[in-house]
Amino acid sequence: MDPEPSQAYSVSQCIDQIAQKLEAENLHYGHGAIDAQSEALWITSKQLDLSPADTLDHLEQMLSEGQYQNAFLIAQQRIDTRKPLAYLLGEAWLMGIPFFCSEQSIVPRSWIAELIVDGSLEPWLPAGGKALDLCTGNGSLAILLALSCPDIHVSACDISMPALSVAARNVDRHGLSSQVELLDGDLWDALPEPNEDNLFDLIICNPPYVNANSMSALPAEYQAEPVLALAGGDDGMDLIRKIIAQAPDYLSERGALLLEIGNEYENFKKAFPQIPVIWMEVSAGEEQVLLIQAEDLR
């Protein structure tokens, strides 16, 4: 359905019409929006310079013709390019927090974000403590940690300098340059040698974990993201093996490692049958994110 410029439309009507337009196409979701209706809300909210959540309080507001037309242009671009909407808008929202977004890094999304915001990780985040975000990408998880626990210091590292440039913009956007430190390097190579003064109370990581078979079948939206941020080798465990192997060296005595593994539950169990794991409940279930206490890694 294309817009009729001579007619005035409310925010609610615009959302519904864009949702119909998107639903008519074979699009894939999961980059900050779960379906066509969510993306339509997101597109429309951008015209009002509001968050998607705040836009729900303005559903009866009338849009200008320019706002209405621009919303449909973005929807058409989403259909034509098959790129994640976050890349087209240059922004993504995670747990209600905005982040700059570009094709230099993966679109902000992680079930770990839920655990940060709901306080589930506080037992491993003492006042004055230290946290590390491995494979930080755009920096969104490190920033959520810093915002949720303003009395901790957060280090965040990534192998991709382009991704770190996006992370730096986000750290600056949220005024966290004194609390969040960005480091360049391949996993542990980004950090100084471990000693008693630079151990972490919590290490979080949403690493590349997509197995080779799944990588070959990814829809266009996921193929638009950097392969480096997704591919985890034949069984999805290539980086996770490296992370688990050296994590004990960088964890404090009562520290913990939190890992997102997505749909690789069976591959993880096969690769690490001997490690006691605490499965963390998130909205996607109890097989997506796991926590390993330092004592169980040593």
Strand, coil or helix: 154 = strand
The stretches of 82-237 forming alpha helices (DSSP H) are 85-89, 112-117, 140-148, 161-173, 212-216, 220-223
Q: For the domain 104-296, what is the CATH code?
A: 3.40.50.150
How many residues can be counted in the chain? Answer: 298
pLDDT at res. 4:
55
Write out pLDDT tens, residues 161-181.
999 999 999 999 999 999 999
Task: Share the mean pLDDT of the chain.
Answer: 95
> Range(s) for CATH 1.10.8 in the chain?
11-89
pLDDT at res. 6:
53
Sole residue written with tokens 């980086």: 239
Rounded to whole angstroms, the Cα distance separating 263 from 86 reads: 23
Query: What architecture (CATH level 2) is domain 11-89?
Result: Orthogonal Bundle (1.10)
Residue 155, pLDDT > 60, answer: yes
Which residues lie closer than 8 Å to 211 by C-beta, 6 or more apart? Answer: 232, 233, 234, 235, 236, 264, 267
Q: How far is CA 271 from CA 1, 69, 214, 252, 266, in A?
A: 49, 52, 18, 25, 9
Write out pLDDT tens, residues 80-89.
999 999 999 9
pLDDT at res. 8:
83
Residue 2, pLDDT > 80, answer: no
> Range(s) for CATH 3.40.50.150 in the chain?
104-296
Q: Which percentage of the chain shows pLDDT scores above 70?
A: 98
pLDDT at res. 151:
96
**CA 277 to the chain's CA centroid:** 23
Write out pLDDT tens, residues 51-69.
999 999 999 999 999 999 9
Rg (CA), the chain: 20
Is-contact 290 209, C-beta < 8 A?
A: no
Rounded to whole angstroms, the Cα distance separating 19 from 16 reads: 5
Can you tell me the mean pLDDT for 218-231? 94
pLDDT confidence band for 1 (50 / 70 / 90):
low
Can you tell me the mean pLDDT for 198-208? 96
Write out pLDDT tens, residues 6-53.
578 999 999 999 999 999 999 999 999 999 999 999 999 999 999 999
Write out pLDDT tens, residues 100-132.
999 999 999 999 999 999 999 999 999 999 999
